[in-house]
Structure formats: structure tokens, C-alpha cells
Amino acid sequence: MEAKAVGFVPVNEPFVEYHLDNGSIARVKFVMTRIFDASRGLVFDAYTKPAMLRGWLGGTEWTIDACEVDLRVGGGYRWAWHNAKGKQIGERGTYREIVPGARIVAASAFDEPWYPGSCVEAIAFTSQGDATVLATTLRYDTREARDIALNAGLTRGVTESYVRLDLVLATRAHAA
């Protein structure tokens, strides 16, 4: 699938469609869509099981140190990474909605905030034949926060993670 860009999101990032919401919700939403050659259940597991998350979550320059998931409404997650330069980042979130195999909604925040406000992430898993369409919607408090996240390399990190996720899914699918 070839990447498409709307607005100022770079086109040179393969495999993911990016869409900025320029509608009535104060232009604070960003949607990423990707098709994975794996069942919906397997892609959902890759998002919710620490053993699988450790294999793909984070850009290529980051090593994951902490990966904790309490998958229930009101439960949460905690992820932490470091890079070769010694920089550390951490993210935590609280699950607001979980529909097994179909949808996850969580409010997230970084340990050291780098954009103002918060972000709510809604992830939809939809079957398309033997594949899964993954649609991730990020809704920030302000357009400024959304733009800071985009300009800080969010799309690059997501694209790198999705390439790694492809490998995790292929390994799991062949092992089954």
C-alpha cells in the first residue's frame, strides 16, 4: 500500500496512510491507516500482549525497557525506551474502552511531556479478507499539540514500528 499525505505530513513514509482532520473538531485529530497481512485477532494480540509488543513497539533507534499491560477498562499500560545516546522516554495510558479483537481506546501521556495537554488514541481493528485494517486515531487537546507531535517524528516512528510489526505477525502466523 502506498502512503498518501494530506496537509503537511511527509509522503516519503511507506506503508501508512496519514490524514489530518481539518473538520469541525478544532483540527486536533490525526488518523493513521495500515493494512496488515494477518488476522484481526493476531493484530489485536500484538497490541495487547507484552511478549508481542516488545518485538515491535518503538522506532528502530529505541530499545524497549518496560512493557506492562493491564488490559481492562480503567486498567493501563506503561512503556519505556532508551536509545544509544542514553535518552529515555516513557509513556503511560489508561484504557477507556476495550472491545476484544475490535477496538481499544486509551488516554495517554508521556512521563516528560513534550507537547501541551493529552492525547486520546482510538485503535480500530477491521477484517478485510485474511488481512486486518488498522485505523489509529489520535485526538489531541489542541491543534498545536497535534502539530508538535507530527513534527517531532511521530509518523517516522509509527512507520518503523509497523515494519517491525509485520515481522512479528509473520513469525507468529507461520508458527501457528
Domain of 23, CATH number, reads 3.30.530.20
Are 42 and 29 in contact by the 8 Å Cβ rule? The answer is no
Lowest-confidence region among 24-38, 126-140, 156-170:
24-38
Return the closest-CA partner of residue 80 out of 63, 56, 97, 98.
63
Lowest-confidence region among 95-99, 122-126, 151-155, 166-170:
151-155
Tell whether the torsion through CA atoms of 28, 101, 36 and 163 is positive or negative: positive
Specify if 86 maps to a domain: no
Specify if 50 maps to a domain: yes
User: Mean per-residue pLDDT for 41-68?
Assistant: 95
C-alpha cell at 109: 501521556
- According to the 3-state scheme, what is the secondary structure of the chain? CCCCCCCCCCCCCCCCEEEECCCCCCCCEEEEEEEECCCHHHHHHHHHCHHHHCCCCCCCCEEEEEEEECCCCCCEEEEEEEECCCCEEEEEEEEEEEECCCEEEEEEEECCCCCCCCEEEEEEEEEECCEEEEEEEEEECCHHHHHHHHHCCHHHHHHHHHHHHHHHHHHHHHHC
Mean pLDDT score of the chain: 84
Specify if 33 maps to a domain: yes
57-80: pLDDT as tens digits:
988 889 999 999 999 999 999 999
Specify if 88 maps to a domain: no
How many distinct structural domains can be found in the chain?
1
Specify if 8 maps to a domain: no
| Parent domain of 166 | 17-64+98-105+115-175
Q: What are phi and psi for residue 17, nearest 5 degrees?
A: -95, 135
Which is higher by pLDDT, 60 or 88?
A: 88
Specify if 32 maps to a domain: yes
Specify if 1 maps to a domain: no
What is the pLDDT at residue 78?
Answer: 97
Specify if 142 maps to a domain: yes
pLDDT above 90 (res 118): no
